[in-house]
Amino acid sequence: MTKTTLILGAGASRPFGFPTAVQLREIIVHRKPAQVQAILTELGASGDLWEIATGNIIGRYGQDELTRLQEEFFQSQTTSIDQFVQQREGAFTGVATYTLAAILLQCEASAYLNRDWYGVLRDAILQNGLEHIPTDRLQIVTFNYDRSLEVYLWGAIQHTFGLREGDAYQRVEALRIHHVYGSLGELRNGSRGRVVPWASPTEGHIRDASTGLHLVRPLSEGLPAEVRDFMKSSEFVCFLGFGFWPENVSLVRGCVSDNTQVYSSNHRGLNDRLRFQVASIFPKMMWGRETAEQCMQEWNILPRPS
């Protein structure tokens, strides 16, 4: 039985209206408003996203705390807000997670979930019909906080087979989707965490969503045993939109077997030096085209008809 593990970075959500780490940094530090507006336009997000987020952040943490986060984050010259918070040993955890939730819930509200590589995945997992979704052959490990993949598949399953909303959601819950650093919340069933409705950037839901983001989770915790074991037994491991931040690579490198074929989309901004470093860790790495959609269309890695 062929198994595949997909490992998602921020670039994997970008086609659907979610910012990369670099874009998030520009939005948060907000040194060049015109540049932030260009990012929001590119993402299809509301032009007043930051103003709305700022109102919520200041209401909870105050202007001084927000300004301190912006100044310290900018001066650190760290690319990722996650990395910044971890390096500061949790000093900014509260305001940073709340800021992320305030931004990402608004991005959910403007997200355009239409085909791209999600569509390629949808076609593969539904090719044998509703009763043969390959939960035993596919695992998705995501370093992202947004729930766009779950919502996309939820809607696709519901409307492809004419199911009730709750029945379709149960099918999505059965899929092996693991958020390494948490997510904005559960979409419907609260048995595994707080329910935060999709695209609901109210003050209460921002607060609840922020509690599900684990920016400073100790690396020693590693991945859950079932995630590690599935990855080790996977024939294919594929990085999509992944920035290869060393701390994230360290969580997965020991889970990739020598017999596994490793792929990566050519995420924009990944320079030759970093590609060389990654290739030294994963000697069998095969680099695809720039976009995840192009890679997924070309690689014969997804579950095949049984």
Cα separation, 215 vs 232, in Å, equals 25
Percent of the chain with pLDDT over 90: 83
Q: Which domains are assigned to the chain?
A: 1-16+112-181+217-306 (3.40.50), 19-110 (no CATH)
| Sheet of 176-179, strand order | 176-179, 138-142, 4-8, 236-240, 261-264, 286-287
Mean pLDDT over all residues of the chain? 93
Q: With pLDDT > 70 as the criterion, what percentage of the chain qualifies?
A: 96
Helix 116-125 to helix 148-161 angle, to the nearest 10 degrees? 50
Are the C-beta atoms of 163 and 157 separated by less than 8 Å?
A: yes
Whether the per-residue pLDDT at 218 is higher than 60: the answer is no
Residue 99 and residue 53 in contact, taking contact as beta carbons nearer than 8 Å = yes
pLDDT in tens, 244-288: 988 889 999 999 999 999 999 976 667 888 888 998 999 989 998
Backbone angle region of 61, left / alpha / beta, with phi > 0 → left and psi within -120 to 50 → alpha? alpha
Q: Is the pLDDT of residue 189 over 90?
A: no
Which segments within 236-306 are labelled E, that is strand? 236-240, 261-264, 286-287
User: DSSP E strands: which ranges in the chain?
Assistant: 4-8, 138-142, 176-179, 236-240, 261-264, 286-287
Mean pLDDT for 101-130 is: 96
Predicted confidence at residue 220, as pLDDT, reads 56
* Whole-number pLDDT of residue 7: 98
Residue pointed to by tokens 């935060």: 196
pLDDT one-digit tens code per residue, 238-249: 999 998 988 889
Nearest to 265 by CA among 235, 234, 297, 233: 297
- Give the pLDDT confidence score for residue 203 in this predicted structure: 96
What average pLDDT does the segment 45-62 reach?
97
Q: What is the pTM of this model?
A: 0.95
| The pLDDT of residue 1 is above 80 | no
pLDDT band at residue 306 under the 50/70/90 scheme: low
Average pLDDT over residues 137-142: 97
The neighbour count for residue 22, using CB atoms within 10 Å, is 14
- pLDDT-based confidence at residue 138 (cuts at 50, 70, 90): very high
**What is the mean pLDDT of the segment spanning 180-190?**
92
Mean pLDDT of 72-95: 93
